[in-house]
Amino acid sequence: MSDADNLKWSYEMGADEAISEEAQDRSVKQEKPQEEPKKTSVISPAQNNVMASPRAVASGTRQVADGCASLKELEEAVRGFKELSICKTATNTVFADGTSEAEIMFIGEAPGAEEDAQGIPFCGASGQMLDQMLSFIDLERKKNFYITNTLFWRPPGNRRPTPEELDICRPFVEKHVALINPKLIVLVGGTAVASILQSKDGITKIRGKYYDYNNGYLESAIKTTAIFHPSYLLRSPGQKRVAWKDALLLKHYLIENNIKF
């Protein structure tokens, strides 16, 4: 195959991120570099690094989240976080979009390629579909809802976030929810459901129902529901009818519970 064919095949397989500044010929045997003397160090939760265990890194993010008293402080902390490998392969930190004073908060999975390029959640094809669907029930991110993800950086190849990545970012997400303090959380897709509600039930069982969500930063539980991820609807257009029904039920819930929109 030509070099162009090799690049195309690699991209389709999900290898769309460069991890070295120079190309390497893997067919040539590489000389093993001499090992440097091992250094001993102590990794504390507050000063962790990429070699720390996921539990230690998560403990560190918890301490950072504990110290954030405002949305601005949390955003600065998230943008300064570099302890995950995906932080280094991502183009942008994708924090949030919409109206922070809104009473409705949407939480999705992780940024895709377009979101990573622009630094805005749900701005690609699936995000445009979500915006269009929500506009039919009078919801607009610039007017009456806030939107973010369970992960702030794009996983290479648009793969699903790993459980370790979600665990490490969860303290940031929990503090994010507490600082926005919405009256309703809408989870977008199965990954968000698994991360936020810690539920093993799939999205098909969760959608259309309302749950009490709580975390250590909240004074009281917040009602939470779920909808299909728009990327799923793009792949399965036959489910759009179900998604439209969920949207109408969502609007009815907002009206019945005096949630501003």
Instruction: Please state which of the ranges 3-12, 60-69, 191-200 shows the lowest mean pLDDT.
Output: 3-12
pLDDT at 50: 43
Residue 187 β-bridge partners? 107, 226
Structure tokens, 126 = 């699936």
Higher pLDDT: 33 or 232? It is 232
Structure tokens, 131 = 């915006």
DSSP 44: B
pLDDT at 56: 87
Enclosing domain of residue 69: 54-256
Residue 19 falls within a domain, yes or no?
no
Residue 155 falls within a domain, yes or no?
yes
Residue 261 falls within a domain, yes or no?
no
Q: Is 46 helix (H, G, I), strand (E, B) or coil?
A: coil
Residues near 181 by beta carbon (within 8 Å), at least 6 away in sequence: 218, 222
pLDDT at 41: 28
pLDDT at 25: 55
Residue 165 to residue 143: CA distance in whole angstroms: 31
DSSP 38: P
Residue 86 falls within a domain, yes or no?
yes
pLDDT band of 49, cuts 50, 70, 90? very low
Structure tokens, 57 = 């890194």
Q: Give me the number of domains the chain comprises.
A: 1
Per residue in 105-115, pLDDT (tens digit) is 999 999 999 99
pLDDT at 38: 39
Residue 35 falls within a domain, yes or no?
no
pLDDT band of 43, cuts 50, 70, 90? very low
Contact by Cβ (8 Å): 157, 200? no
Burial environment of residue 173 by CB neighbours within 10 A (0 to 12, 13 to 18, 19 or more): buried
Residue 173: C-alpha distances to residues 32, 147, 237 (Å): 42, 12, 30
Contact by Cβ (8 Å): 92, 116? yes
pLDDT at 203: 93
Residue 244: C-alpha distances to residues 5, 48, 176 (Å): 41, 45, 28
pLDDT at 1: 62
Parallel/antiparallel/unpaired status of strands 97-98 and 146-149:
antiparallel
Residue 199 falls within a domain, yes or no?
yes
Residue 40 falls within a domain, yes or no?
no
Mean pLDDT of 193-213: 93
Structure tokens, 43 = 């990794």
- Looking at the predicted structure, is the pLDDT value of residue 75 above 70? yes
Contact by Cβ (8 Å): 192, 106? no
- Looking at the predicted structure, is the pLDDT value of residue 18 above 50? yes
Per residue in 147-197, pLDDT (tens digit) is 999 999 999 999 999 999 999 999 999 999 999 999 999 999 999 999 999
Residue 252 to residue 46: CA distance in whole angstroms: 45
pLDDT at 14: 54
Higher pLDDT: 13 or 102? It is 102
pTM of the model: 0.80
Residue 9 falls within a domain, yes or no?
no
Q: Is 174 helix (H, G, I), strand (E, B) or coil?
A: helix
Residue 149, amino acid: N
Provide the CATH number for the domain around residue 114.
Answer: 3.40.470.10
- Looking at the predicted structure, is the pLDDT value of residue 28 above 70? no
Parallel/antiparallel/unpaired status of strands 97-98 and 222-227:
unpaired
pLDDT band of 256, cuts 50, 70, 90? very high
Per residue in 108-160, pLDDT (tens digit) is 999 999 999 999 999 999 999 999 999 999 999 999 999 999 999 999 999 99
